Amino acid sequence: MKNLLLIAYLDLKESIRAKWFIVYSLVFGGMIALFFIAGVTQSQVMGFSGLSRLLLMYIQVTIVILPIFILITTVRSISGDRDTHILEYMLSFPISLKQYYWGKILGRFITVFLPVFFAMVFAIIYGVFIGADIPWDIFILYTGLLFSLTSAFLGIAFFISSFVKTSEIALGISFFIWIFLLAFLDIALISLMMQNRFDESLIITIALLNPMEIFRVAAISLFDPSLTVMGPVAFYILDTFKQTIFVLISIAYPIILGLVFAFLGYFIFAKKDLV
């Protein structure tokens, strides 16, 4: 356990020194600051105003930005150490493969999750300072959703990094996965639905297997419980799940998915040639 925490600490220090971490933190912190400057907390849309609307806008933007940031900054964790021979150097010490792998995951999770979380904490602190109503229920649920989304894409990134030998290929694969989950999957499902080759419930179920899609639907359900913006799809979701159960599934499923990919990545990493 001591070696695992040491690896996590070293990865955390390396990430903080890197320029990408500064950009990463400024993107999310600057996003919150920009919303305050733009007067988002002073406007009202669909009955939501103040910090509730600010957190709503923040979570909608995060759906797109967070996965690609996690993928491109994490997918080179192992492959980058292999390219620079750091992996060979680290394993020359009395450190096991398990300690190295899970230590890297722990350190990188702290690095990618805390800036996103602290941006929301900053919004809450500012809201307390100006005397605004604090939507603690939405804050807690959004924290859970961000935690689960981070877990899912962190596991996917380490899975890719475990079998790809060069950083360039790892970046290419990660970018393709992000594009596929963001756009191409929905386009493919819409075309299938138009051709009526499959049952609509099957198509919707496949769509919800996408961690970005289930994250988006859960975030929408927090301010629009009837899911009116989603059209006929809402009837299938609401008839199948209660809102509370659906939100819990939306938090649990990406975490499980991330753990599955992380363990698959570890098995590949432990079995294949390391250098």
Q: Is the pLDDT of residue 274 over 70?
A: no
Q: What gap in Å lies between CA 261 and CA 253, rounded to an integer? A: 12
Q: Which of 34-48, 77-91, 238-252 has the lowest mean pLDDT?
A: 34-48
Q: Is the pLDDT of residue 255 over 90?
A: yes
Q: Which residue has the higher pLDDT, 199 or 271?
A: 271
Q: How confident is the model at residue 13 (pLDDT cuts 50, 70, 90)?
A: confident
Q: Given this model, what pLDDT does residue 46 score?
A: 47
Q: Is the pLDDT of residue 207 over 50?
A: yes
Q: For 186, what's the count of Cα atoms within 13 Å in the CB-facing half-sphere?
A: 11
Residue 44 pairs with which residues in a beta bridge? 49
Q: Which residue has the higher pLDDT, 236 or 101?
A: 101
* 3-class state of residue 210 by DSSP: coil
Q: How confident is the model at residue 228 (pLDDT cuts 50, 70, 90)?
A: low
% of the chain surpassing 90 pLDDT:
9
Record the tokens describing residue 205, joined without a space. Answer: 């179920």
Mean pLDDT of 145-172: 86
Q: Given this model, what pLDDT does residue 152 score?
A: 92
Residues 6 or more apart whose CB falls under 8 angstroms from that of 272 comprise: 162, 163
**Average model confidence (pLDDT) for the chain?**
77
Domain ranges of the chain: 1-273
Residue 48 pairs with which residues in a beta bridge? 45
Mean pLDDT of 76-81: 74
Record the tokens describing residue 169, joined without a space. Answer: 């290929």
Long-range contact list for 245-252, CB < 8 A, 24+ apart? Answer: 246/217, 246/218, 246/221, 247/141, 247/218, 247/221, 247/222, 249/214, 250/145, 250/148, 250/214, 250/215, 250/217, 250/218, 251/144, 251/145, 251/147, 251/148, 251/218, 252/148
Residue 206 pairs with which residues in a beta bridge? none
Q: How confident is the model at residue 51 (pLDDT cuts 50, 70, 90)?
A: low
Q: Given this model, what pLDDT does residue 275 score?
A: 56
Q: Given this model, what pLDDT does residue 45 score?
A: 47
Q: Which of 37-46, 144-153, 177-186 has the lowest mean pLDDT?
A: 37-46
CB 261 within 8 A of CB 158: yes
